[in-house]
Amino acid sequence: MSKKTAIIPLSACLLMLLLVSQGCNKIRDYFPNGNTPKKSIAAIVSSSKDYSMLKLALERADLLKTLDQPGTFTVFVPDNSAFEKAGATVELIESAPVETLKNVLLFHVIGSKITASQIPEGNNTAVTSLLGAALYVSKSGSKVSVNGSGVTRADIEANNGVIHGIDRVLVPPAGNIVEVAKSNPALSYLVAAVVRASQGTTNVAALLSGDGPLTVFAPTNQAFINAGFPTIESINAAKPDDLTPILAYHVITDRVFSTNLVDGGQPSTFAGETLTIDLSSGAAVKGKSNTTKSKIGPADIVTTNGVVHVIDQVLLP
């Protein structure tokens, strides 16, 4: 018995072709140039396992939905490894004060779209974050950084802005250089030296609290002990005007993040003498009379009037 072939009327074929054609036109309208629509910044963060800690932080600060809405944002996005470098854990994020968390996250967001190609060549172009504090973006060739944090992946396009992946969590300034040093127990000897030096002819504390911008290489307590100041009392016993030139040798009258340092560079200090930068095996700095170079780290502690780099030696002119 022969099989019957289904016959579709010509009018039905024409109708189907018309519907398919209209459907394709609608698809082309929705997916211009054959590309699917971009996701929102929130959707990109939420869909990547590398950003799970950032997603948790944004949810807890009630900011994830903001980055899902229409608008134009630039977000510097730290991945999970950046949070881990900062000592952050899931437990810490879940227990952190919400307002503190929100401030840190808003420090990563700019209220306009800035692609890598729009960043001018040079150091420390200031842009204002949604927190209100300035971020400083630097560009050298294809290398881009913000506040000393390298951009690991630039120009991730979203339908409400652009994402730049970074290798560190950005921390907002907690005060000027003196205030930040006072809040760090590892720098209490430096604070004592600044206070003692300010009792002489130069008010070093006032200088380091001024408008800036300044960069300070900040020796740790152990660095002062190794330099012959075993106690804070020994610092207080020193002549103020003997301490001032030593402290001035640790200050650069400019904002210099770690990514702005140049191997072999010799920046001038407030004392009028130069330091030598060595990047051959990690960031380091050497004073003229030091026999060895001093390691820099942690680096890029942002203040309202500059930046602080912690070092493990007192620099000697």
Give pLDDT, residue 37.
Answer: 53
- Do the beta carbons of residue 55 and residue 49 sit within 8 Å? no
Give pLDDT, residue 5.
Answer: 40
Q: CATH number, domain at 47? A: 2.30.180.10
Judge whether 12 lies within some domain: no
Task: From 170, 174, 175, 181, select the one nearest 88 (Cα to Cα).
Answer: 170
Mean pLDDT calculated for residue range 294-305: 97
Alpha-carbon distance 256 to 148, whole Å?
9
CA distances to 5, 6, 7, 9, 53 from 2, in Å:
9, 13, 15, 21, 66
Could you report the per-residue pLDDT of 4-15, keeping only the tens digit for each? 444 444 444 333
What percentage of the chain has pLDDT greater than the value 70? Answer: 88
Mean pLDDT calculated for residue range 203-230: 97
Query: What is the model's pTM?
Result: 0.86
Could you report the per-residue pLDDT of 174-187, keeping only the tens digit for each? 999 999 999 999 99
Give pLDDT, residue 38.
Answer: 82
Tally of domains in the chain: 2
Could you give the angle at the alpha carbon of 203 between the alpha carbons of 198 and 206, nearest 5°?
115
Give pLDDT, residue 211.
Answer: 94
**Residues 162 and 181 placed together within one structural domain of the fold:** no
Give pLDDT, residue 172.
Answer: 97
Number of H helices, E strands in the chain: 12, 14
- Do the beta carbons of residue 129 and residue 106 sit within 8 Å? yes
Judge whether 283 lies within some domain: yes
Alpha-carbon distance 70 to 218, whole Å?
44
Checking if the pLDDT of 27 tops 90, the result is no
What percentage of the chain has pLDDT greater than the value 90? Answer: 87
Task: Determine phi and psi for 92, rounding to 5 degrees.
Answer: -65, -40
| Greatest Cα pair distance in the chain | 117
**Residues 65 and 118 placed together within one structural domain of the fold:** yes
Judge whether 96 lies within some domain: yes
Checking if the pLDDT of 294 tops 90, the result is yes
Beta strands 301-303 and 284-286, pairing class = unpaired
Residues 6 or more apart whose CB falls under 8 angstroms from that of 284 comprise 277, 278, 293, 294, 295, 296
Pseudo-torsion of CA 217, 120, 66, 102, nearest 10°? 10
Checking if the pLDDT of 17 tops 90, the result is no
- Do the beta carbons of residue 144 and residue 151 sit within 8 Å? yes
- Do the beta carbons of residue 304 and residue 175 sit within 8 Å? yes
Alpha-carbon distance 107 to 153, whole Å?
19
Domain boundary among 112, 136, 166: 166
Could you report the per-residue pLDDT of 128-152, keeping only the tens digit for each? 999 999 999 999 998 999 999 999 9
Give pLDDT, residue 180.
Answer: 98
Alpha-carbon distance 39 to 236, whole Å?
60
Which helix (H) or strand (E) element contains residue 186?
A: none
Which is more confidently placed, 190 or 13?
A: 190
**Residues 71 and 149 placed together within one structural domain of the fold:** yes
Instruction: For residue 34, give the DSSP letter.
Output: G
**Residues 193 and 303 placed together within one structural domain of the fold:** yes
Could you report the per-residue pLDDT of 220-273, keeping only the tens digit for each? 999 999 999 999 999 999 999 999 999 999 999 999 999 999 999 999 999 999
Q: Average per-residue pLDDT in the chain?
A: 90
**Residues 150 and 187 placed together within one structural domain of the fold:** no
Q: 317: cis peptide before it, omega within 30°?
A: no
The parent domain of residue 162 ranges over 41-166
Judge whether 20 lies within some domain: no
Alpha-carbon distance 103 to 101, whole Å?
5
Could you report the per-residue pLDDT of 68-82, keeping only the tens digit for each? 999 999 999 999 999
- Do the beta carbons of residue 310 and residue 299 sit within 8 Å? yes
